[in-house]
């Protein structure tokens, strides 16, 4: 006999506290699930989703549409801008393979630990010109179009050009600009772009006002002009796209980016832009039940989701009941084990030492880590494990590992609470930045993307209208904190950005992504389990109640950690709260804790696609 029980109903969303049968059925959702036969386009803003839909209607594939949405979200400063970074997974139906796109910028030539230490900093700054790595998004967008798209850059950028010429600004961005107006006023080009009512009480553009970015529009037109001039000269489509790429990274746009950045105190040089390139890579993956789950490798935090799944497959999650105290505790501990490994072992694979990826993703290593979970209480000092024996090696940093503690600073003798430099507040930093883009079409192309960087408040690079990234802060300065992620010229910081794809029988099954800094793979792990273990559709899973652990080290600001701190939704039943407090957790409650998850499920039985977009934020989807 089934014993499913629905416990609480709050704000139209059913909150299921205990489901012994292991399946969640017939939840009411605030948004309807999307159904599409031909294509699905989902991203962080309604107008940007419309840009994707327009691109599909022009004859573009999912890569073209994803690039159009990327361009639109950057133009709308949807917690990112044009000088940020782009990370993507692309399923190519021609080869049946998942491809990884690494369009993350690098530390400029002058960025060394000594430069920041001499300035009295414990980490690179969170704001300002010295927070910037080289821009990656323009190169990533153009490379994806050249390799996997079919439309021209002119066609793909057409919606963004209209947006840059002027669009009615939404309240979310208006409030963000106003909140950061004091900082923006300190950078002359940012002040010109964002503070359009200087001296007034509300200096930002107001919601509904037409927000015009004439400099950015001119930059986008220069890219299109380079492409079109090359085509008129007889160049191939790929060569024409390369001409646009070169104009940004080697031509007049690059010259102005460097001039304006250095004028404001930044470190980026013309050589930094010229030497940087997009990388097309192999993703990493693991099997969970009958699914192959793909992530970007350890220059992102993506493998933590794979590690957590490897750990959790040793538990009977369904039997615990969805969001029971036992389930929440097990999730929290598994995430902390995986994130502790992230905090010590993840970094740019192009720089020595070589990260122990094979050991980290070993099923035997996961079983060993699972045995470390305390059944009845939180472990406030979860530490990185030693994956080297699981790949037939010896840990070169054993001494550092032995001194490592959950709270940053303790392994170096510098108290974690000693703040220095221009840092983000913890609550802002932990969920900082980013948007997500997912797109799919009937031909089989699938894109999952988490672009980020250059969010408001961003330093604008002169007359380009391009905002610069703030990603330098994700480096560390001390080898004792993470020997793989110490800042160095030309090196990519280890980022939180983490698109996801899952295949079943070699074909796309789920594409899912989310914004939110260090919470991203926490949200995505729970979304995935909601679908796979508890039978939710993608909209139900995107809206479902999540938990957030704050025990890992933040990737931003002062890299703080809050062991035992757990965020739950307000609908959490009192008996679950009591059990968790008895296990040593410090609880806080919010109305929505799901994160702005966007996802597509592929219904092979009917040849259709299901789209889901969470109710947190302004994320939006369109399907046909």
The total domain count for the chain is 1
Does residue 477 fall inside a structural domain? no
Q: Is residue 374 part of a domain?
A: yes
- Domain region containing 381: 1-113+281-456+489-624
Instruction: Render 533-602 in DSSP notation, one character per residue.
Output: TT---HHHHHHS---EE--SPPSSTT----TTEEEEETT--HHHHHHHHHTTPEEEEES--S--EEEEEE
**Residue 433 has what pLDDT?**
60
| Number of other residues whose CB lies within 10 A of the CB of residue 589 | 13
d(CA 32, CA 48): 19
How far is 211 from 208, CA to CA, in rounded Å?
9
Q: What 3-state DSSP class applies to 440? A: strand
Burial 138-149 (b: 16+ CB within 10 A, else e): bbbbbbbbbbbb
For residue 527, the domain's CATH number is 3.60.20.40
541, 14 contact by CB (below 8 A): no
Q: Helix or strand or coil: residue 382?
A: coil
Q: Residue 245, class by beta-carbon neighbours within 10 Å (0-12 exposed, 13-18 middle, 19+ buried)?
A: buried
Residue 427 confidence (pLDDT)? 61
Please, which residues have CB within 8 angstroms of residue 372's CB and are 6 or more apart in sequence? Answer: 337, 379, 382, 385
State how far the Cα of 501 lies from the Cα of 247, in Å rounded to an integer. 33
For residue 12, is it within any domain?
Answer: yes
- Condensed to tens digits (0 to 9), the pLDDT of residues 409-466 reads 655 544 443 444 466 565 655 555 678 999 999 999 999 999 999 999 999 999 999 9
Pair 85, 451: CB distance under 8 Å: yes
> What is residue 247's predicted lDDT score, i.e. its pLDDT?
98
**Could you give the CA distance from residue 109 to residue 475 in angstroms, rounded to a whole number?**
15
Mean pLDDT computed over every residue of the chain = 92
- Is residue 429 included in any domain, yes or no? yes
Of 85, 19, 4, 65, residue with least CA distance to 498: 85
Is 548 among the domain residues?
A: yes
The Cα 49–Cα 163 span in angstroms is 13
Query: Would residue 399 count as lying in a domain?
Result: yes
Q: Is position 574 within any domain?
A: yes
In this structure, is residue 559 part of a structural domain?
yes
Residue from 22, 18, 30 nearest 596 by CA: 30
Angle in degrees, CA 468, 471, 474, rounded to 5: 165
Low-confidence ranges of the chain (pLDDT < 70): 1-27, 409-433
Q: Which of 180, 110, 223, 239 is nearest to 466 (CA)?
A: 223
Separation CA 533–CA 22 (nearest Å): 7
DSSP state of 441: E
Give me the sheet containing 548-549, strands edge to edge. 548-549, 565-569, 586-590
pLDDT in tens, 323-375: 999 999 999 999 999 999 999 999 999 999 999 999 999 999 999 999 999 99
Name the pairing type of β-strands 284-288 and 437-441.
unpaired
């Amino acid at each position: 006999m089934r014993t499913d029980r629905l416990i609480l109903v709050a704000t139209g969303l059913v909150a299921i506290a205990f489901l012994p049968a292991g399946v969640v059925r017939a939840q009411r959702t605030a948004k309807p699930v999307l159904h599409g036969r031909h294509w699905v386009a989902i991203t962080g803003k309604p107008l940007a989703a419309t840009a994707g839909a327009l691109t599909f209607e022009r004859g573009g594939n999912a890569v073209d549409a994803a690039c159009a949405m990327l361009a639109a979200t950057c133009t709308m400063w949807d917690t990112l801008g044009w000088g940020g970074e782009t990370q993507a997974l692309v399923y190519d139906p021609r080869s049946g393979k998942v491809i990884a796109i690494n369009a993350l910028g690098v530390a400029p030539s002058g960025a060394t630990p000594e430069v920041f230490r001499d300035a009295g900093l414990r980490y690179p700054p969170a704001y300002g010109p010295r927070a910037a790595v080289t821009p990656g998004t323009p190169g990533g967008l153009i490379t994806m179009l050249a390799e996997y798209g079919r439309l021209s850059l002119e066609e793909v950028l057409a919606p963004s050009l209209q947006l840059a010429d002027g669009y009615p600004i939404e309240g979310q961005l208006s409030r963000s600009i106003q909140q950061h107006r004091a900082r923006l006023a300190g950078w002359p080009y940012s002040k010109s772009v964002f503070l359009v009512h200087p001296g007034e009480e509300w200096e930002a553009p107001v919601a509904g006002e037409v927000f015009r970015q004439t400099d950015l529009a001119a930059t986008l037109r220069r890219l299109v002009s380079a492409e079109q001039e090359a085509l008129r000269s007889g160049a191939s489509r790929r060569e024409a796209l390369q001409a646009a790429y070169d104009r940004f990274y080697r031509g007049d746009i690059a010259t102005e980016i460097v001039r304006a950045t250095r004028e404001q105190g930044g470190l980026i040089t013309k050589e930094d832009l010229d030497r940087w390139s997009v990388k097309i890579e192999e993703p990493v993956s693991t099997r969970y039940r009958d699914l192959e789950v793909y992530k970007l490798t350890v220059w992102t935090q993506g493998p933590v989701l794979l590690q957590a799944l490897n750990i959790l497959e040793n538990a009977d999650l369904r039997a615990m009941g969805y969001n029971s105290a036992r389930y929440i505790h097990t999730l929290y501990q598994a995430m902390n084990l995986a994130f502790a490994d992230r905090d010590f072992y993840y970094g740019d694979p192009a720089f020595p030492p070589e990260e122990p990826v094979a050991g980290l993703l070993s099923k035997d290593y996961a079983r060993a880590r699972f045995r470390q979970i305390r059944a009845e209480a939180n472990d406030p000092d979860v530490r990185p494990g030693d994956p080297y024996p699981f790949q037939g090696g010896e840990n070169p940093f054993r001494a550092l590992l032995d001194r490592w503690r959950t709270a940053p600073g303790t392994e170096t003798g510098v108290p974690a609470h000693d703040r220095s430099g221009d840092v983000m507040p913890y609550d802002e930093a932990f969920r900082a930045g980013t948007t997500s883009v997912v797109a799919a079409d009937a031909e089989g192309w699938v894109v999952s993307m988490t672009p980020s960087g250059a969010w408001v408040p961003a330093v604008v690079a002169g007359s380009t209208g391009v905002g610069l990234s703030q990603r330098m802060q994700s480096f560390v300065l001390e080898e004792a904190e993470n020997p793989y992620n110490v800042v160095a010229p030309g090196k990519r910081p280890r980022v939180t950005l983490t698109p996801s794809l899952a295949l079943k029988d070699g074909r796309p099954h789920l594409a899912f992504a989310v914004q939110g800094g260090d919470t991203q793979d926490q949200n995505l792990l729970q979304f995935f389990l909601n679908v796979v273990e508890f039978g939710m559709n993608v909209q139900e899973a995107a809206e479902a109640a999540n938990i957030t652990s704050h025990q890992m080290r933040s990737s931003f600001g002062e890299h703080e950690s809050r062991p035992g701190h757990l965020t739950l939704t307000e609908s959490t039943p009192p008996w679950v709260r009591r059990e968790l407090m008895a296990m040593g957790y410090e609880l806080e409650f919010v109305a929505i804790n799901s994160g702005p998850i966007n996802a597509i499920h592929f219904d092979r039985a009917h040849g259709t696609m299901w789209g889901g977009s969470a109710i947190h934020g302004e994320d939006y989807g369109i399907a046909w």
